[in-house]
Chain A
Amino acid sequence: MSDAPPVLRARPLSPHILQWRWHITMATSILHRVTGVGLYVGLLILAGWALALASGPDVYGTYSGLLGSAIGKIVLFGVTVSLFFHMANGVRHLVWDFGKGLAPRTADITAWIALAFAAVAAVGVWVLAAVTGALRP
C-alpha cells in the first residue's frame, strides 16, 4: 500500500451538446421524444372527449367548443403533426430493430421522408377536415 494520495486522471468527457453540428438524424431523434410528449397530451384530450361525451350534451358542447376554438385547433393541429411524425419515425425505429437502414446515407434520407410525411399527412388531414365540414362549429 502506498501512502501517496490517489491521483485521479481526468475522465474523458463527451462533447457538450452545443459542440454538435445539427444534423437531420439528430433532429428527428429529438423530435421523436418531443412529439411523444405531445401525443401524451393528445391522449389526455381523447380520454377527456370520451368523458365529456358520457357526461351529457352540455359538457360535450363546452368541450367540443374548446376544441373548436382557435387555440383548440392549434393544439389539435400540433397533435396531428406529432402523430404523423412519431408514426413515420416509429416505423424507422422498427426497421432499425431488424438491423436495416442504419447506414448514414439511408438514415438521412428516411429522416427527411419522415419529416415530409408528417407535414403532408397533417396538412392533408386538415384540408380533408375543412372540405368535409368537420371544422364547422
Chain B
Amino acid sequence: MSEAPRPRSAALALAVGLVLADSSIVVLALPDIYRELDTSVTAVTWVLVSFNLVMALAAVPAAHLARRFGPGRCAAVGLGVFAGASLACGISDQLSTLIAARCVQALGGAAAVTAVLELLPATVGSEQRATVIWAGAGATGAALGPALGGILTELVSWQSIFLVQVPVAIVAAAPILSVARHEAATGVLNSELRRTGRPHLLANLALALVSAAIAAALFLLVLLLIEGWRLSPITAALVVTVMPIAALLGRRVGSQVPSTKTRAAAGAILVAGGLGGLALLPKAAIALTIPPQILVGIGLALVLSALTETALAGRAPQAIHGGWTISARHAGVCIGLLALTPIFTHDIAEQRSDAIDAGTAVVLDSHASPLLKIQLAQRIDERLAEQKDKVPTLGPVFEPLPDDSDDRDAVIDLREELQDQLDRGATHAFAPSFGLGALMALLALVPIGLARRVDL
C-alpha cells in the first residue's frame, strides 16, 4: 500500500475506462474485420455482442467474487486476464477464436471493473466521489472507444486495437498489485460480507434502455460513415470524436446540476434528440452529423453518470450494485445491437436496391448516347455483382471518361446523379434504426420519472 492515492486513483479510473471502452472500441474496425476474416455482417456483429453479453452476465457474479476474495486481488487478476485475452484477440486469424477471446476479455474486464469500485472509496476518500469517478471514467471510455479504435485501425490494423490494450492493462494493474499483496499477506478479505440490498430496478432499467440507444448512435453512425458514405476509418474516427469531446462538456454541465433525476432526464432527452437528428439527416454531409453528435455526447455523459450514481446511492456493497449497473448497461448494448442489426441490414438491402434502380433510371433517361448507356449499364451490372450485398462504390464504372466532350460531360453528370442516389439510399437505410434508438432513449424517461430516490 505504498503508492500515493492520486496515481492509484488514476490507474483505477484508467482500468474502468479501458474495459468499458472495449464495449465500443471495435466498432470502427468491424468493416476491416468483416473483410479480412471473410464473414457476414451479422456474424461480425458478434465481436461486439459477445463482449457486451459476457459483461452483462458476469458483472454481478464477478462483484461477488471481488467481495469474497478481495477487490485488489480480483482487480489485478481481472486485468491480467483482460490483458491476456486482448493479446489473444490481437493474434486471432479466425472469427471464432476472436469471439472466444472477446468473451474471456469480458470476463476479466467484469472482474476488474466491479472490483475497482470497491477499491476507489479508500483511495479517493469518499464513496460518493468514488462513484462519480467510476461512472465518469466508464462514460468517457465508452464515448472515446470508437474514435480510438478507428484511428488505430487506419494507422496500424484492427489487431493493434487489442495489442495496445495489453500494456495499458498492465500499467493500470501495477498500482493495484500492492493492494492485492496486502490482501494476501494479511488474509483480510472483507469482514463485511453482509447481505446486499436490492438493486435499483428503475435506474438499472433506464440504464439498459439508454445504453441501447447509445449503442445505436455509436454503432450505426460508424457504419453509416464507413459502409454508407465510404469514408476511411480514420476520417470516420475523426468525425465521431465529436461525441467524446461533447461528453467532456456534458460532464462539466452535469457537475453544475446536483439533481441526478434532472441530469438523467435531460441526458436521455438529448440522446433522443441527437438520434432523432441522425434519423432525419437532410443530406449525406459530415457537417450535418455534428449537431446530433454533440447532443448525444452531452446526453450520454449526463445520463450514464446520473443513472449510475442513482443506482449506487445509499446502497452497499458498492461492487455488487456497480455490478448491476455494468450488467444493465451491457445488456442494453446487446439489446440495441441485436434488435437493430437485422433492421438496418434489411433496410440497407432494400435501399441499395432502390438507389440502384434510381441510378439506372438516371442513366436510361439521360441524354447520353445509346452506346454509352449500354456500356454504363454493363459496367454497373458487373460492379453490382462484384459488390454483392454492399452499398456499391460506382466511381470506377465511369472510368475512363469518354474522349468526346459531350459524352464526357454527360458521364460526369451521370456519375454525380448516381452518387447522389446511392448516398440517399445509404442514409435513408439507417433512418429507422436511428429512430428506434431515439425511441429507446425516450422510453428511458419512464423509469427515470418513476424513480423516487434519485436526488442525492
A and B physically associate: no
A binding-site residues for B, Cβ under 8 Å? none
B binding-site residues for A, Cβ under 8 Å? none
